[in-house]
Amino acid sequence: MYQEANENLEDAGNELILSDEDVVRFQIGEVFAHMPVDDVEARLEQMKEDAAKKLEKLEEEKESILAQMAELKKILYGKFGDAINLEED
């Protein structure tokens, strides 16, 4: 989700670069507002940074969870051996 949002923001930034308009429409919530290109560029950069930070945090959480799962699988296989069949990652 955040990765897709980051890609969409990148695409919007590229489209903005190609635009020769001084004022563009920018969606804020459910409303479009006419804003200067410089302000929109600044907002897009901030939004990209925020999305990248959230994505990085989620990746860290994912790695932590996968490590915990691996540890739990070791414990379960140690206790039950081949009597259980756990899903692979």
With beta carbons less than 8 A apart as the criterion, state whether 25 and 34 touch.
yes
**pTM of structure:** 0.70
Q: Please report where in the chains the tokens 């410089």 appear, as a residue.
A: 38
Question: Average pLDDT for residues 62-74, to the nearest whole number?
Answer: 93
The pLDDT tens digits for 24-38 are 898 888 999 999 999
Tokens of 50: 């925020």
- 2-83 has which CATH code? 1.10.287.370
Please give the backbone phi and psi of residue 36, each rounded to the nearest 5 degrees, phi first.
Answer: -65, 145
Whether the Cβ atoms of residue 10 and residue 49 lie closer than 8 Å to each other: no
**Structural domain boundaries of the chain?**
2-83
